[in-house]
Amino acid sequence: MSNKLLEVKNLKKTFGGLKAVDVEHLSFNKNELTSVIGPNGAGKTTFFDLVSGFQQGDTGEIYFKNKKITKTQPYKISRLGLIRTFQLTKVFDRMTVLENLMFSGSSIKNDSFFQSILNTSSSKKYESDLEERAFEIMQDLNIEKMSESYARELSGGQKKLLELGRSLMKNPDLLLLDEPLAGVNPKLAEDLLEKIKNLSDQGITILMVEHNIEAVMKISERVVVLAEGKVIAEGTPQTVRSNDKVIEAYLGTAHE
């Protein structure tokens, strides 16, 4: 099936006696917006870490664009077009918002030592194109007023936006969003959700971990439910919502 962008087989990761991730098979199709939900400690973030190369699984294989990326360095996975964000936002605090974005978009060649010393007219052109692109993204995310502020001066929600923008500078094929709405006020959360939906419509495949169930159900095309590292349900929001196991493990009996 050529429609598969990411495929995970037999992926296991244990911490001591604890099975953090134990996924037999999961695949994610192009252009799909999938949410991974589950109670705290279900292995969602560990799953992201494994896929993005930040942690190594004990067993199993991961394929991205039909290429095996198991035991591959995170930066190499990222260069293939799989970009992730972090649960605890990781912005470059003592760099400006603009610098955060431009660093992200800059190519390896543009970053190189000798290219930087030479500072040719073509690299100046590259930089100004980069700046233009960064401003487009800032405008889209409503943070262009902050372009010269240090990232540490932003509010929690703005940092989330910056991190999203920084990922977009890479023109990702697959975007892994780790709790994009955590700590964001309801109004901004709605905007962010709208943005994520738009990105999905633009053709970026999105995989996100999120606790805000209402948000998840609203925009996801598919939902995967993890509990104790295992996939206990997957499918459209409607089927998952009515699944008994899910209600028991996650939504709780109080949920109507």
Select the residue interacting with another protein from 29, 31, 115, 147 (CB under 8 A).
115
- Degrees (nearest 5) of the Cα angle 180, 182, 184? 95
The number of residues that bind another protein (CB under 8 A) is 40
Site string for another protein, 128-167 (x = CB under 8 A): ----------------------x-x-------------xx
Alpha-carbon distance of 85 to 166, in angstroms, equals: 9
The reply on whether position 44 binds another protein by CB under 8 A is no
Considering the complex, what minimum distance in angstroms separates the CB of residue 139 from another protein?
A: 21
Find the largest Cα–Cα distance for the chain.
Answer: 65
Considering the complex, what minimum distance in angstroms separates the CB of residue 214 from another protein?
A: 28
Alpha-carbon distance of 159 to 151, in angstroms, equals: 7
Select the residue interacting with another protein from 93, 129, 132, 201 (CB under 8 A).
93
Task: Choose the binding region for another protein from 111-119, 134-142, 191-199, 245-253 (rule: CB under 8 A).
Answer: 111-119
Select the residue interacting with another protein from 104, 158, 200, 220 (CB under 8 A).
104
CB 146 within 8 A of CB 154: yes
Q: Select 169 or 227, whichever has its Cβ closest to another protein.
A: 169
Select the residue interacting with another protein from 69, 83, 168, 231 (CB under 8 A).
83
The reply on whether position 111 binds another protein by CB under 8 A is yes
Considering the complex, what minimum distance in angstroms separates the CB of residue 74 from another protein?
A: 4
Select the residue interacting with another protein from 2, 75, 121, 253 (CB under 8 A).
75
Q: Select 143 or 232, whichever has its Cβ closest to another protein.
A: 143
Q: Select 95 or 247, whichever has its Cβ closest to another protein.
A: 95
Question: 208-226: string of b/e by CB count within 10 Å (b at 16+)?
Answer: bbbebbebbbebbebbbbb
Task: Choose the binding region for another protein from 19-27, 95-103, 198-206, 232-240 (rule: CB under 8 A).
Answer: 95-103
Considering the complex, what minimum distance in angstroms separates the CB of residue 133 from another protein?
A: 14
> Does the CA dihedral 40-159-33-171 come out positive or negative?
negative
Alpha-carbon distance of 237 to 223, in angstroms, equals: 6
Considering the complex, what minimum distance in angstroms separates the CB of residue 90 from another protein?
A: 4
Alpha-carbon distance of 83 to 48, in angstroms, equals: 11
Alpha-carbon distance of 164 to 176, in angstroms, equals: 10
CB 37 within 8 A of CB 209: yes
Question: 33-67: string of b/e by CB count within 10 Å (b at 16+)?
Answer: bbbbbbeeebbbbbbbbbbbbebebeebebbbbee
In 3D space, the residue among 195, 164, 169, 168 whose CA is nearest the CA of residue 179 turns out to be 164
Contact positions vs another protein (CB under 8 A): 52, 54, 73-76, 78-79, 83-86, 90-95, 99-100, 102-104, 106, 108, 110-113, 115-117, 119, 123, 127, 150, 152, 166-167, 170
